[in-house]
């Protein structure tokens, strides 16, 4: 009997050891295990720690300065920031799923933010909103008009051209029609350069391009998406969507030998090192382009969508925004930090100098990037349209992108792509 | 195997149970409980994030089985991959092991060469091959003009299949080779000698004596290569992202996409359940079939 008891005690002890080991491991694994970089140390004894998760790949050093300034003003507060440019969506989803929700985290506007809206603090009636541009707030709103996030920076996308090649070939007037685009391609090819290097391996790039041909449908992206959701608008109905395939043909015909092997990195490398003249990307890639070759000059070229005189499209919007966890123990502090990040002088400096982008908060500061500066001209002159692809259903970018890859490979016709795309939207 | 007799007055079962409790607790924590939760989530329409789950019964199963083109395509790709991979990797590994089971010095060096790819992480390997197949092949094509190098090995649906199979075989052949070498070297010398005396040499000796005696190794290698190819994920994630146009999506990658990109957690758990049952069935049949072929002389 004694022996039995001893055995039981042993087992119980080992079990309890095992479970404490498990739970201990669970707590400590909230650190940078997923490959992120921790900006500051982990929690200290009695102080408060605010956790932040972002998908940022650059400008994080300047962001650290913002954090330092905030910590100086709030002794005892620590900030634990993780920046995860890769697999961010998956990591955030599993963190939220397991109840380990960061105090502040970023999401893309539209359906991604909607997914997390039940965890998000609602900013709709907060005083801080007056510091932001109306168009930025508009882009961040949910379809029901609520605002559960604060916008970060404007991001713009269109074709990005290697200005040096364009100058050398002697193209002074950017094409505004698809036939004009074809002529430009012919000229560039005749000069011995590859005209296009579109990142066709990355489905999202093709989805971005496709969104240019959806955008002219209406001034409000919400309106377009609502019509598609309601079944009153299909891709085949749209005025310009079928022209997408004409431009796709050009991208393949005047692209590199293995178009489906080009990913975003190769695409940016090609245009930076003058191996190709035109890519499709946004002002977010300026830092990478500079890294590949700081000598090259770039500018934006709006995407021609037809031959009937419709203006070429330049899409500009808020891509990322910050969500504050509404049930966080440090909600007030987290809110204060977020406002500080987005509206303070040092925060603005982070966005304009570090990220080289146009802040969504009102400011006189100019962004320190050529592409962002040229984007600002399009925005100020009213020539830009809002993004619509962020409002598409979850993961629709990858799905329609894969269908467009099928078209580029010649295994689906334009009609088939439009039909499958509609089926996938509704499924 | 003989059944062990129970000694009177002792109850080894209870002791065994007691001592295996910690291990069982671990298994329950890491495998059993998640599996049951998986079963539970498969009955819900849930995005994996929200606190709100809608009970839908077996609707997910119906949808997955009847109306999911990408899932069907991923099954076809996975099966195609499995067939070619299992055959190639085992045949090649046996060939290499046969050649290297002689105890020459050079054989030891080559054994290491074949094994090295296996100890490099799949992610690193995928990145290396991406570089070789992209810029590497382009340079070779410019230099030699061979159309082989001009093909889009990652950008064409028909070729990407062979690329994925080739890289997987290249990486894994060393591992299976080690198991087969152990099999070859454990063949009793007297049996081989007797065969030689009886006049069996070269291929006959290999075919009639060594291969049948290698059967236990073949069983285990076929089993591991089968499960490996069913679960293929990392190389797809890094090298092809399931593309182009979804043509290299494996079942595991499709499930991952459903859970973490589409945010259809219910669908993903349903698929993983069905997949689990299918893999279980195939491996049980395989083990039974191969075990029945094992011999002893």
* Entry pTM: 0.83
Q: Closest-CA residue in chain A for B63? A: A427
Round to whole Å and give the CA distance between B214 and B188. 11
Q: What percent of chain B has pLDDT over 70?
A: 96
Average the pLDDT over each of A69-83, A180-194, A262-276, B283-297 and give the range with the smallest value.
Answer: B283-297
Give the ipTM: 0.81
**How far does A261 lie from chain B, in Å, by closest CA?**
5
Contacts of A93 (CB under 8 A, 6+ apart): B48, B49, B260, B263
A37 pLDDT exceeds 50?
no
Q: What pLDDT is attached to residue B194? A: 87
Pairwise CB contact (< 8 Å): A402 & B243: yes
Q: Which of B48, B133, B245 sits opposite A411 (nearest CB)?
A: B245
From chain A, the residues in CB contact with B47 under 8 A are 115, 394
Q: What is the pLDDT of residue B284?
A: 93
CA A358 – CA A342 distance, rounded (Å): 12
* CB-closest option in B29, B245, B257 to A22: B29
**pLDDT value of position B16:** 87
A287 within 8 A of A357, measured Cβ to Cβ: no
In this complex, the residue of A15, A257, A260 whose CB is nearest that of residue B244 is A260
Q: Which residues of A touch B (CB under 8 A)?
A: 7-8, 11, 14-15, 18-19, 22, 89-90, 93-94, 96-97, 115-116, 118, 200-203, 257-261, 266, 394-395, 398, 402-403, 405-406, 409, 411, 427
DSSP B175-187: HHHHHHHHHHHTS
CB contact under 8 A, B260 and A89: yes
**Residue of chain B minimizing CA distance to A92:** B49
C-alpha distance from A200 to closest chain B C-alpha (Å): 9
Cβ within 8 Å, pair A394-B19: no
The mean per-residue pLDDT over the stretch A70-78 comes to 93
Is the Cβ of B67 closer than 8 Å to some Cβ of chain A?
A: yes
Partners of residue B156 in chain A, C-beta under 8 Å:
260, 409
Q: What is the pLDDT of residues A204-230, one digit of tens each?
A: 999 999 999 999 998 888 899 999 999
Per-residue pLDDT, A409: 93
Mean pLDDT of A282-290: 88
Closest CA of chain A from B167, distance in Å:
17
pLDDT band at B3 (very low <50, low <70, confident <90, very high): low
* pLDDT the model gives residue B52: 85
Which chain A residues are Cβ-neighbours of B29 within 8 angstroms? 22
pLDDT over 90 at B48, yes or no: no
Which tens digit of pLDDT belongs to each residue from B63-80? 999 888 889 999 999 999
Smallest Cβ–Cβ distance between B243 and the set A11, A115, A203 belongs to A203
């Amino acid at each position: 009997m004694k022996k039995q008891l001893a055995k039981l005690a042993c087992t119980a002890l080992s079990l309890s050891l095992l479970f404490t080991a498990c739970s201990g491991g669970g707590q400590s694994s909230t650190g940078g295990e997923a490959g992120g970089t921790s900006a500051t140390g982990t929690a200290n004894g009695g102080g408060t720690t605010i956790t932040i998760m972002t998908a940022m790949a650059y400008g994080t050093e300047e962001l650290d300065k913002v954090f330092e300034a905030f910590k100086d003003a709030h002794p005892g507060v620590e900030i634990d920031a993780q920046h995860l440019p890769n697999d961010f969506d998956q990591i955030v989803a599993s963190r939220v799923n397991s109840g380990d929700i960061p105090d502040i985290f970023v999401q893309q506007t539209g359906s991604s933010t909607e997914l997390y809206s039940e965890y998000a603090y609602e900013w709709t009636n907060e005083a801080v909103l007056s510091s932001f541009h109306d168009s930025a707030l508009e882009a961040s709103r949910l379809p029901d008009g609520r605002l559960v996030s604060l916008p970060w920076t404007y991001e713009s996308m269109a074709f990005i051209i290697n200005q040096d090649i364009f100058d050398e070939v002697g193209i002074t007037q950017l094409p505004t029609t698809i036939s004009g685009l074809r002529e430009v391609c012919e000229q560039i090819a005749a000069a011995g350069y590859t005209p296009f290097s579109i990142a066709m391996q990355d489905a999202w790039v093709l989805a971005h391009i496709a969104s240019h041909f959806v955008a002219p449908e209406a001034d409000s992206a919400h309106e377009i998406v609502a019509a598609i959701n309601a079944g009153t608008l299909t891709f085949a109905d749209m005025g310009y969507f079928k022209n997408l395939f004409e431009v796709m043909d050009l991208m393949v015909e005047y692209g590199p030998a293995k178009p489906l092997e080009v990913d975003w990195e190769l695409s940016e490398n090609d245009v930076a090192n003058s191996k190709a003249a035109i890519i499709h990307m946004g002002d977010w890639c300026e830092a990478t382009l500079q890294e590949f070759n700081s000598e090259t000059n770039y500018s934006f070229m709006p995407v021609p969508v037809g031959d009937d005189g419709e203006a070429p499209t330049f899409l500009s919007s808020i891509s990322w925004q910050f969500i504050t966890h509404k049930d966080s123990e440090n909600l007030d502090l987290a809110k204060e930090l977020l406002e500080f990040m987005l509206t303070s002088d040092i925060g603005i400096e982070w966005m304009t100098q570090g990220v080289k982008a146009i802040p969504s908060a009102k400011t006189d500061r100019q962004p320190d990037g050529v592409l962002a500066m040229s984007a600002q001209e399009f925005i100020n002159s009213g020539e830009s349209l809002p993004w619509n692809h962020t409002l598409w259903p979850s993961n629709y970018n990858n799905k329609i992108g894969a269908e467009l890859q099928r078209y580029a490979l010649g295994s689906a016709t334009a009609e088939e792509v439009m039909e499958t795309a509609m089926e996938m939207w509704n499924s | 195997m003989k059944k062990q007799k129970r000694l009177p007055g002792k109850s080894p079962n209870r002791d065994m149970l007691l001592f295996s409790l910690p291990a069982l607790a671990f298994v329950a924590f890491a495998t059993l409980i998640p599996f049951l939760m998986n079963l539970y989530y498969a009955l819900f329409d849930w995005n994996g994030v929200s606190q709100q789950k809608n009970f839908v019964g077996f609707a997910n199963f119906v949808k997955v089985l009847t109306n999911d083109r990408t899932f069907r395509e991923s099954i076809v790709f996975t099966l195609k991959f499995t067939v070619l991979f299992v055959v190639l990797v085992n045949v090649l590994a046996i060939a290499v092991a046969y050649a290297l089971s002689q105890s020459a010095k050079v054989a030891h060096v080559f054994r290491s060469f074949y094994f090295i790819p296996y100890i490099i992480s799949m992610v690193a390997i995928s990145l290396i091959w991406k570089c070789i197949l992209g810029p590497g092949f382009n340079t070779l094509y410019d230099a030699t003009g061979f159309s082989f190098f001009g093909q889009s090995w990652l950008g064409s649906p028909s070729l990407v299949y062979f690329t994925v199979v080739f890289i997987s075989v290249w990486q894994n052949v060393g591992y299976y080779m080690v198991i087969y070498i152990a099999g070859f070297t454990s063949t009793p010398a007297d049996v081989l000698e007797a065969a030689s005396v009886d006049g069996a040499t070269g291929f006959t000796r290999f075919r009639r004596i060594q291969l049948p005696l290698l059967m236990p190794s073949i069983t285990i290698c076929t089993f591991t290569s089968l499960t490996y190819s069913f679960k293929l994920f990392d190389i797809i994630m890094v090298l092809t992202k399931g593309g182009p146009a979804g043509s290299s999506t494996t079942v595991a990658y499709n499930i991952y996409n459903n859970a973490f990109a589409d945010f259809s957690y219910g669908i993903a758990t349903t698929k993983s359940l069905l997949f689990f049952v299918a893999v279980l069935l195939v491996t049980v049949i395989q083990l039974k079939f191969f075990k029945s072929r094992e011999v002893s002389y």
